[in-house]
Amino acid sequence: MQKILNYINGEYVEPISKKWLDNYNPSNGEVYSQIANSNAEDIENAYQAAKVAFPKWSNTTIDERSRILLKIADLIDEKLVELAEAEAKDNGKPLSLALAVDIPRASANFRFFGNAITQFSSEAHESVGLNTMNFTLRQPLGVVGCISPWNLPLYLFTWKIAPAIAAGNTVVAKPSEVTPMTAFLLGEICSEAGLPKGVLNIVHGTGPSAGQAIVEHKNIKAISFTGGTKTGEHIARTAAPMFKKLSLELGGKNPNLIFADCNYEKMLEVTVRSSFANQGQICLCGSRIFVEKPIYKKFKKDFVEKVKQLKIGNPFDAETNIGALVSKSHLEKVESYIKIAEKEGGKILFGGNRVTVKDFENGYYLEPTIIEVSDDQCRVNQEEIFGPVVTIMPFETEEEALQMANSVKYGLSSTLWTSDLNRTMRISKKIEAGIVWVNTWLNRDLRTPFGGMKDSGVGREGGFEALRFFTEAKNVCIRYEG
């Protein structure tokens, strides 16, 4: 059976313990590879390789770093089909989605930061009258840790690694043990692109073992983490006494506010996607849908009709809209929320059941599920489910919509459907979310700041924000005789 090895110092190596974890294919529930079950010793080896690589890499010219990142991007593009197939098999997502979104975005991440680093600059401040000139040195931090989740595996893994190495850091990175395959394949791509050994080290294993060892490592200077809010809390608690720099991209429970004056057809089409793309396992999915009363009944009927047409099936089938959920335990967690909804008096308008796919009977398939709720404070409306489950509820006034949108502990993204510019501005200013999409969803310009408010995280990724995170700003103040 294929072994998913660690990539340390430019070489694929077994975990020191020689222990392995099973890697499941969610589309059929079968174990299809073995993952290195790494621990603190493997992390130490990765750290040592990164430490040795740092002085040279941090002094490598910007042009050279950029050239290597762009080469990695090109190689990812060349291997699009192989990587997309690996992602679909490992994660359960439709191959069509991996081909159109996940893998192109992974190459875009390297291309974007390969270019961005050539444009990154720092400030200068002349203290007029004092004969001093200040400039800001932006230096790489050293060895940094990158930890990513399973929902957009290569997409989010590279979103951290690319700016980290572009800025001159060296990296110890851990993908989720639930979806390690494309991170494993990235190692050979980096070697082929000429990334010097030790600049990127990829260690596989569980969060509590390999992940925790990265966070606890006293010489790993910063942690860029994407994952659940509870894990983020734990990481913050562990890292804070060591004063590590932290970027935490955490959970969400995003509102989708639909006003009667919107472009109805466009809204309906996009709302189906923003609810159920990637089986609803995108931190940016709009899982709480609030609809203005005059169009509520119509929306309810049309939305259910559209969702009924989605085809659930084998991720490799070109017709499939909804693939398998990522794991059995995640499927059970999502199902438990459907039961909670029923107990709380929610009305299941569609879905709620497992689906048996012919020849893939042991896969983790669930119907897209629409629940009508009458109280926005119920648990299914407050807690992150992270699956193909949305709630819908009517509202009467803009104030009420805004109040419900903000009445959660999360604040990652939001979607607003309206043709009223004044309303757009009013709501955009008041809504508690790191992103406000107006009449669109998941439209991403990589130069923009990305991140959440409240329990959805701390810090911003994207554009120069990411390069700032991965560098230390140093003020140099020069006095001259005038």
* Among 146, 190, 283, 285, the one annotated catalytic: 283
Of positions 92, 207, 286, 313, contacts ligand NDP by CB under 6 A: 207
21 binds ligand NDP (CB under 6 A): no
150 binds ligand NDP (CB under 6 A): yes
Rg (CA), the chain: 23
The nearer residue to ligand NDP, 57 or 450, going by C-beta atoms, is 450
CA distance 273 to 2: 34
The nearer residue to ligand NDP, 19 or 423, going by C-beta atoms, is 19
The span of 56-64, 147-155, 181-189, 424-432 binding ligand NDP (CB under 6 A) equals: 147-155
Q: Report, in Å, the least distance between residue 217 CB and ligand NDP.
A: 11
The nearer residue to ligand NDP, 49 or 147, going by C-beta atoms, is 147
Of positions 25, 38, 212, 274, contacts ligand NDP by CB under 6 A: 212
Of positions 144, 178, 390, 392, contacts ligand NDP by CB under 6 A: 178
The span of 75-83, 184-192, 246-254, 258-266 binding ligand NDP (CB under 6 A) equals: 246-254
Of positions 140, 457, 459, 462, contacts ligand NDP by CB under 6 A: 457
346 binds ligand NDP (CB under 6 A): no
Q: Is 249 a catalytic residue?
A: yes
249 binds ligand NDP (CB under 6 A): yes
The nearer residue to ligand NDP, 262 or 283, going by C-beta atoms, is 283
Of positions 85, 87, 102, 177, contacts ligand NDP by CB under 6 A: 177
Binding mask 272-291 for ligand NDP (x = CB under 6 A): -----------x--------
Residue 382 tokens, joined: 């407050």
Residue 256 tokens, joined: 């989708």
Residue nearest to ligand NDP (CB): 207
Q: Report, in Å, the least distance between residue 160 CB and ligand NDP.
A: 10
Binding mask 224-243 for ligand NDP (x = CB under 6 A): --xxx--x--xx--------
Length of the chain: 482
Identity of the amino acid at 279: Q
The span of 24-32, 142-150, 256-264, 472-480 binding ligand NDP (CB under 6 A) equals: 142-150
Of positions 55, 208, 294, 345, contacts ligand NDP by CB under 6 A: 208
Site for ligand NDP in 413-452 (CB under 6 A): 452
Which residues are identified as catalytic? 249, 283
Residues in the site for ligand NDP, rule: CB under 6 A?
Answer: 147-151, 156, 174, 176-178, 206-208, 211-212, 215, 226-228, 231, 234-235, 249-252, 283, 384, 386, 412, 452, 456-457
